[in-house]
Amino acid sequence: MSSNWAASPGLAGSADSPFTFSVMNSSSISIACASGARDVPTVWVGRALAIHRPPTRDGGVSRAPKLWAVTHAVSGLSAGLIRARKSDAIALARAWDDAFAGLSVAARGRWPLAPQWRAALRAVAASGVAIPPNNDAIDPEPSADNDGLPLSLGFARSAGMRCRVAGHADARRPEIMWRGRWWPAPTDADLERWTLDSVCETPDGRTLEPDAPDSWLRLLRIV
């Protein structure tokens, strides 16, 4: 899928106002792919989110057990992958549907609920619990006293990967060990883009599906 939040044909919404959405066909949804828009069958459609099987490159959909895609129904763009039972995936989408309905195109990169959404994706995969958004616990914006280190280092340490910060104080290079070599650590913007998209890079620069064994999201155990 594309990483742009351009509205799909026939869907309401603008680049600087919250989306509105009216389901035309609740049994399918148009998703944005690199090759163009594709219609895929859905198992649930709400005001702003839809649950369906992830698309495959051959034009079909994945049949991997407990693997579901959640799509921003208005734009047709991926909001992430869920490894869980269908009922748990739907429960998570229901819990977050209103939050996504109020999301504007222009605010996508600055959405304060994004860290909570990523945590909710991990939680439903790990325990089947659908954690709803909490507007009273929005993570603060990164500040200068945050040391400027990417969140990927913390994920890497939790996943048992070796990490280091090379260079000197004025030109630090956060790096993560993979297959015997040091690679630049993904930035927070990289993680957010890959989490909301349907493709993810590997440390050596390949582009794969987010749940592929060598993808950064899989290596860091985010999916």
Bridge partners, residue 18, by sequence: 104
Does 65 share its domain with 103?
Answer: yes
Mean pLDDT of 192-197: 83
The pLDDT value given to residue 50: 93
Give the model confidence (pLDDT) of 122-163 as tens digits: 888 888 888 888 776 554 443 333 456 788 888 888 888 888
Q: Is residue 150 part of a domain?
A: yes
If one compares 147 and 65, the residue with the highest pLDDT of the two is: 65
**Mean of per-residue pLDDT scores for the chain:** 77
Does 108 share its domain with 154?
Answer: no
Mean pLDDT of 74-81: 84
Does 95 share its domain with 184?
Answer: no
Count Cβ neighbours within 10 Å for each residue of 74-105 and write b for 16 or more, e otherwise: bbbbbbbbbbbeeebbbbbbebbbebbbebbb
Q: Could you say which of 81, 112, 137 is where a domain stops?
A: 137
Q: Is residue 199 part of a domain?
A: yes
Q: Is residue 18 part of a domain?
A: no
Does 130 share its domain with 163?
Answer: no
Give the model confidence (pLDDT) of 95-130 as tens digits: 999 999 877 655 666 778 888 888 889 888 888 888
The pLDDT value given to residue 151: 84
Does 124 share its domain with 179?
Answer: no
User: 12-16, 53-57, 160-164, 185-189: lowest mean pLDDT where?
Assistant: 12-16
Q: What is the pTM of this model?
A: 0.54
